[in-house]
Amino acid sequence: MLEIHRIREEKDQIIEALKVRNLDATAKIESILDMDTKWRSAKGELEAIAAESNKIAKEIGQLFAQGKQSEANAAKAKTQELKESEKELKETVNQLADSLQQLLYEIPNVPDPLVPSGKSDQDNEEVDKGGVIPNLGQHAESHWDLAKKYNLIDFEMGVKVTGAGFPFFIGQGARLQRALINYFLDQARDAGYTEFIPPFVVNEASGYGTGQLPDKEGQMYHCQIDDLYLIPTAEVPLTNMYRDVIVNEEDLPIKVTGYTPCFRREAGSYGKDVRGLNRLHQFDKVEIVRVEHPDNSYAALDEMVSYVKSLVENLGLPYRILRLCGGDLGFTSALTYDFEVFSAAQEKWLEVSSVSNFETFQANRLKLRFKDAENRKNLAHTLNGSALALPRIMAAILENNQTAEGIKVPEVLVKYTGFDMIR
């Protein structure tokens, strides 16, 4: 959520910057400012009336104390009218505040100047790439065929027990998955991130805090009886730890990591993109989250990008790094880098990580602030990144590393799997 002060002061720049998202926010911004003006003036009136009736109430108290009953009762009658208009005005003020809040929720984050314009993922800007795409020859098998051949993943069993998009991992498949989790967590720890195992369900306030609500209502699984949401990413619980928190400046940066399963309804996704491991309703991910000083957040973003790069390089996967264009940029993000790995049998690039700087957009909703040297409270910056999302990594490993003898396990994982070849 953008800060209302900022909208007041930088209206034109914000409207201009939002055009990179192919969004003309002029009307919305205007009505926000209009609503804001009305709200402030109504609130001013309300407070004047409240001040008046507070004053009278105090006087009545004194009159009673002095035993002047009749005068006190006369004063009481005087407040009737005030009470009426106070009630009415309060209603108006609350309504204006609600509408203002609703409108503010609808404005996405202002893109960083680096964000290229563009309509879709076609227009994302490749900023880096590495690794070697293997030449598999004509007998290359897709990961879903390999998963069946080596009995690593059972998609049909998942359909039977739960539904499409909830596979079972089996034997060496399950162990490879667990190895990846442990490898990613150990790497994150070595990079200075503190490990957490957070709750896998969150309340509504947390959904609002990181911006999944109200924007992505319907993409999360919702347990209605308890009004709790299954997390779509560890970002939600990890970042919401800092909701309503004021940290000391010297405690920054805060660097945390956590492994969680992630649950996504993926309403509206059909077709070939959902084949095999490409898109699941439940998947595993290790996430890294940072709370940063505003002066430092872009350096932190770069650091996170090079950290994630080291992971895909260590796994020996061909990758490319994309700077998301305005059309593809997430609602809450100011600047996002996506990582894709090449899955050589499908001959497709698969997104495995998304690293973003949210600047104060989340912090404003979270009321996450830091206290500076002058004891002033300022909104902090939040960032997060996948490091990494597992299923597509597994897909790429299975496909790219297939040989006539079996599937080669990446060297860095061998000490975690306990085997170097899937046969």
Partner RNA sequence: GGAGAAAUGGCAGAGUGGUCGAAUGCGGCAGUCUUGAAAACUGUUGUACCGCAAGGUACCGGGGGUUCGAAUCCCUCUUUCUCCGCCA
CB 233 within 8 A of CB 188: no
User: Given strand 369-371, what is the order of strands in its sheet?
Assistant: 246-248, 369-371, 377-379
CB-CB neighbours of 141 under 10 Å? 15
CB of 419 to RNA, least distance (A): 30
Residue of 53, 92, 99, 314 that binds RNA (CB under 7 A) = 53
Nearer to RNA, 46 or 179 (CB): 46
Nearer to RNA, 97 or 136 (CB): 97
Instruction: Tell how far CA 219 is from the center of its chain.
Output: 13
Residue of 64, 166, 331, 419 that binds RNA (CB under 7 A) = 64
Nearer to RNA, 11 or 216 (CB): 11
Tell me which amino acid residue 327 is: G
Segment near RNA (CB under 7 A), from 27-35, 45-53, 130-138, 349-357?
Answer: 45-53
- The reply on whether position 79 binds RNA by CB under 7 A is yes
Nearer to RNA, 48 or 197 (CB): 48
Segment near RNA (CB under 7 A), from 72-80, 183-191, 258-266, 357-365?
Answer: 72-80
Nearer to RNA, 26 or 66 (CB): 66
Segment near RNA (CB under 7 A), from 16-24, 62-70, 178-186, 358-366?
Answer: 62-70
The contacts of residue 218 (CB under 8 Å, 6+ apart) are: 265, 267
Nearer to RNA, 83 or 189 (CB): 83
HSE (CB half, 13 Å, CA atoms) of 59? 14
- The reply on whether position 60 binds RNA by CB under 7 A is yes
Residue of 129, 189, 377, 415 that binds RNA (CB under 7 A) = 377
Nearer to RNA, 83 or 129 (CB): 83
Q: How far apart are CA 81 and CA 85, in angstroms?
A: 7
CB of 252 to RNA, least distance (A): 17
Q: Binding string, 22-41, against RNA, x = CB under 7 A?
A: ------------------x-
CB 29 within 8 A of CB 15: yes
Segment near RNA (CB under 7 A), from 59-67, 267-275, 310-318, 323-331?
Answer: 59-67
Nearer to RNA, 63 or 396 (CB): 63
- The reply on whether position 199 binds RNA by CB under 7 A is no
CB-CB neighbours of 157 under 10 Å? 13
CB-CB neighbours of 54 under 10 Å? 10
CB of 340 to RNA, least distance (A): 40
Q: How far apart are CA 219 and CA 242, in angstroms?
A: 23
Size of the site for RNA (CB under 7 A): 27
**CA angle (265 as vertex; 201, 2 as ends), nearest 5:** 70
The token duo for 363 is 């912090």
Residue 172 backbone phi and psi in degrees, to 5: -65, -30
The residue written with tokens 């979270």 in the block is 366
The residue written with tokens 């790219």 in the block is 400
Nearer to RNA, 44 or 192 (CB): 44
Nearer to RNA, 61 or 130 (CB): 61
Residue of 13, 22, 34, 61 that binds RNA (CB under 7 A) = 61
CB of 105 to RNA, least distance (A): 17
CB of 83 to RNA, least distance (A): 6
Pairing of strands 282-292, 254-263: antiparallel
Instruction: Tell how far CA 312 is from the center of its chain.
Output: 22
Residue burial 338-372, b: 16+ Cβ < 10 Å; e: rest: bbbbbbbbbebbbebbbbbbbbbbbbbbbebbbee
Q: Which of residues 208-267 bind RNA (CB under 7 A)?
A: none
Q: Residues interacting with RNA, by CB under 7 A?
A: 4-5, 40, 43-44, 46-48, 50-51, 53-58, 60-62, 64-65, 76, 79-80, 83, 375, 377
